[in-house]
Structures are given as C-alpha cells and as structure tokens.
Structure 1
Amino acid sequence: MKSYTKTLPSEWLDVSLMFVALGDEQRQRILLTFEPGERLNVTQIASVSKLSRTAVSHHLKLLKQAEVLQSEKIGKEVYFWINKQNIKDILQRVIDYVNQNT
C-alpha cells in the first residue's frame, strides 16, 4: 500500500486541479453554458448567469488555471472555449487507473 497523505504524485496534480475546479456548482453551470464548438466572452456568460461579471471572471480564471477552458484575447475581449482534449486526457487517466485496480 502506498501512502499519499503528504503529497500527490506529480502526474496527478492536473487531475486534482480539474476536479477541484469542476467541484463547484457555479463553475459546472458555466461549463454547461457552452454549446459544442462555441467561444464565449465574460459578458455573454454573465448575461445568462445569476452571477455578476466579476464573479464570472473569477470562475473563468479558475477553470482556465485548471485547463478546463482555453482562451484567446481578440481586441479588448477574451473568448473562452472548452478544452475538450485536456478534459478527455485527464478523465482517461482516471479511467485507466480504475481499470488497473479492479
């Protein structure tokens, strides 16, 4: 039996970040706002949310740090979209781990 009470293995840090980011109901709602292939800015997301623009910006920052979202600045606006490949890769690692230990 291995003990990870002090630290996670480095290859699990991004898994932890993603799960923490997606563990918040408001961030889940923001993620579900995106239609397939859609890019949205803070104003667009805030317009369909109960949250203020500032709160939406905070949640977007955390989702981006966890690499759940990607972004690009175009002019004065920053557009966000779902980082599908990273989410798939992380979830696949979790599935592979579960399959190895069953």
Structure 2
Amino acid sequence: MGKKAIEIFRSCIPLFQTLSDPHRQDIILLLAEHEALTVNEITEHSRLSRPAISHHLKILRDAGLVKVEQKGTQRYYILSIESAVQLLKELIHSVEDECL
C-alpha cells in the first residue's frame, strides 16, 4: 500500500471506530429515515436510555456524522455525513490507484 493510501486509511480510523458500534449504526440509520429528530424521539426508537442515546449522539457529533440545530427549546439532530463519505471515497480511490 502506498504512502498516500496509508495516510488516508489512518485518517479514517476514528470514523471506523465511531461506525463500529451497533447502537450508533442504528442512530445513523434512523436519522437517514427522518429529516431531524430530538433525543427523546431517537430514544423512542431504541432500547437504550436517554443518557445512553445522548452519549452516542455526542460521539457521532464529535466525528462530524451528526449536527445539531436548535429550534426554540428543542435540539434536533440531523445526519451530516457528507465529509465522511468524501473521506471514504478518497480512501477507495487511493486503494484502487495504489493497491490494485
């Protein structure tokens, strides 16, 4: 594997770690089906507690996969995967160019 592919792969590791959790995967899939949801709405679709959902949302937000919009007193979580998708595309192209 070339140096560029290795660098891109290493930059993807935090994303892979974030996506490795099944609960976070479920949250991402749920948000993909809805425009925006509150923590309580996400909790209604899960077996996890509200604090656990909040914890996973923080991890997703820190990884740039979810963004928050404040509307009145409510905080809505919205899927925001554009930059992650772009990074994964770069990894795929790099591996194709340097490894195949």
Q: Give the TM-score of the pair, scaled to structure 2.
A: 0.82
Name stretches of at least 5 consecutive residues in structure 1 with no aligned partner: none
Q: Structure 1 residues 79, 63: CA separation in 2 closer, same or farther (over 3 Å shift)?
A: same
SS at match of 2:24: helix
1:83 corresponding residue in structure 2: 80
1:45–1:75 Cα change, 3 Å: same
1:26 is the counterpart of 2:23: yes
* SS of alignment partner, residue 75 of structure 2: strand
Q: Judging changes above 3 Å, is the alpha-carbon distance between structure 1 residues 97 and 53 closer, same or farther for their aligned structure 2 residues?
A: same
Aligned to 2:39: 42
In structure 2, list runs of 5 or more residues that go unmatched: none
RMSD across aligned positions (CA): 2.4
Q: 1:36: Cα distance to partner? A: 4.6
Kindly state the Cα deviation for residue 12 of structure 1 after the two structures are TM-superposed: 4.1
Give the number of equivalent residue pairs.
97
Q: In the alignment, does 2:51 pair up with 1:54?
A: yes
* Structure with the larger helix share: 2
Q: 2:96 aligns with which of 96, 99, 102?
A: 99
RCO comparison, higher one (Cα < 8 Å, 6+) = 2
Deviation of 1:75 (Å) = 2.2
Shift in alpha-carbon separation, 1:90–1:10, aligned structure 2, 3 A = closer
Distance 1:91 1:79 in 2: 26
Question: In structure 2, what residue type is equivalent to 1:29?
Answer: D
